[in-house]
Amino acid sequence: MVVRQKQEPLVYERTLGMSVMEGKGFYYPNDAVISSNGKIYVLNRSLEARGSGRGMRVTICDSSDEFHGDFGQFGEGPGQFMWPSAICEGPGQNIYVADEHLHKIMMFSADGLFLKEWGQLGSEIGQLDSPSGIAFNSVGELFVSDTYNNRIQVFSFSGDYLRSLSSDAKLNLPWRLNFDSSDHLYVADWGNDRICKYDPDGNFMSSFGKTGGGEGEFLHPADVVVDDAGRMFVCDWGNERIQVIDANGQFLQMNLGQSDLSPWATNFLNINVEEGQAREKSDLHKKDIKFANPDDRHEISSHIEEYFWSPMALSLTEDGYLYVIESNRHRIQIFKTVT
């Protein structure tokens, strides 16, 4: 559903994925990266951290719905996950994963072979406390949202501490972060309900947004990506929506989600006939529901299938496709960005 659009920067294309605890599918995905090798690496957080960790893995697929396997293992050892929080691609097509419970960054090959890790709980230089966002700049430096330390730290691709960004922005639980084509850094400042922008030298420049549910307002934004026109696509997590604002912070569009069934899900329902028949009898698009709180976006989204329900992260491809990673419905909604 598109709401009060003044332009149309986002046009829905299709959906990828379905709920599967093992193998071909996703299980509470919370981040993804579209690699330069054409594959999509989807980080599945799962909800089984207190049990076996089943479903916690990185799924490898592509935009043509091909499944290329998965990797990752639940545990506290080297290369294992306890509460994986972010994923990105680094130099050499290596894949980096942050774990906010184990306070570490892990490096894997493109095939999922564990290479190395670093990180230690603490607030001293180079230490981490619940890292929840990672991104590389154009010269191969890794920027980390050191969330509970309310700061951004910079490391080499191999884990050597380099520096920290200016504290002028007074970040409050920074979440994900990304760069534009000119190496300006954008941070989803989760606790302050805003987006912060830094110059290529790490100096705080400006911020966009304020607390609320209106146009250009945010409630705990989880991620932000930026196109070549300077438009910011914001994962407005607390409001269960995506917003688009221009380079000056002016509102352009909000989108509540428009998903239909993915090819994976369609194939599953065709094979599992009884489940497919039960689905046909259901009305998953009904909107005239007597909600307990009609102003609660979380409650509304949980009942209407096409809507975003816990959008967690965004990825923007070079050819202008926006991938919205949606945790509670185990899928990715794909939009074409229009200039």
At residue 294, the pLDDT reads 83
Closest CA to 181 of 87, 89, 317, 11: 317
Residue with tokens 């090959």: 109
Does residue 3 surpass a pLDDT of 60?
no
Closest CA to 257 of 317, 215, 214, 297: 297
Averaged pLDDT, 203-210: 97
Average of per-residue pLDDT values in the chain: 93
User: In angstroms, rounded to a whole number, what is the distance separating the alpha carbons of residues 108 and 84?
Assistant: 14
In angstroms, how far is CA 171 from the centroid of its own chain?
Answer: 19
At residue 2, the pLDDT reads 59
| DSSP-derived 3-state class of residue 175 | strand
Averaged pLDDT, 80-90: 96
pLDDT in tens, 89-145: 999 999 999 999 999 999 999 999 999 999 999 999 999 999 999 999 999 999 999
Q: Which fold has domain 2-274+308-337?
A: Neuraminidase (2.120.10)
The model's pTM is 0.95
Percentage of the chain surpassing pLDDT 70? 97
CB 4 within 8 A of CB 331: no
* Domains of the chain, residue spans: 2-274+308-337
Does residue 5 surpass a pLDDT of 60?
no
Does residue 273 surpass a pLDDT of 90?
no
Burial label, 222 (beta-carbon count in 10 A; 0-12, 13-18, 19+): buried
Does residue 7 surpass a pLDDT of 60?
no
Hey, how many other C-beta atoms are within 10 angstroms of the C-beta on 317?
14
Distances (CA, A) of 325 to 81, 101, 213, 257, 269: 19, 21, 21, 11, 22
Does residue 68 surpass a pLDDT of 60?
yes
At residue 284, the pLDDT reads 74
Handedness of CA 200, 203, 208, 211 (dihedral sign): positive
User: In angstroms, rounded to a whole number, what is the distance separating the alpha carbons of residues 315 and 171?
Assistant: 23
Averaged pLDDT, 312-332: 97
| DSSP-derived 3-state class of residue 28 | coil
Sequence-distant (6+) residues with CB within 8 A of 315 are: 32, 33, 34, 225, 322, 323, 325
Hey, how many other C-beta atoms are within 10 angstroms of the C-beta on 36?
10
Sequence-distant (6+) residues with CB within 8 A of 158 are: 116
Averaged pLDDT, 266-271: 87
Does residue 4 surpass a pLDDT of 60?
no
At residue 151, the pLDDT reads 97
Does residue 71 surpass a pLDDT of 90?
yes
Alpha helices (H) along the chain = 263-271, 273-281, 297-303
- What strand order describes the sheet that includes 29-34? 29-34, 40-44, 57-61, 67-71
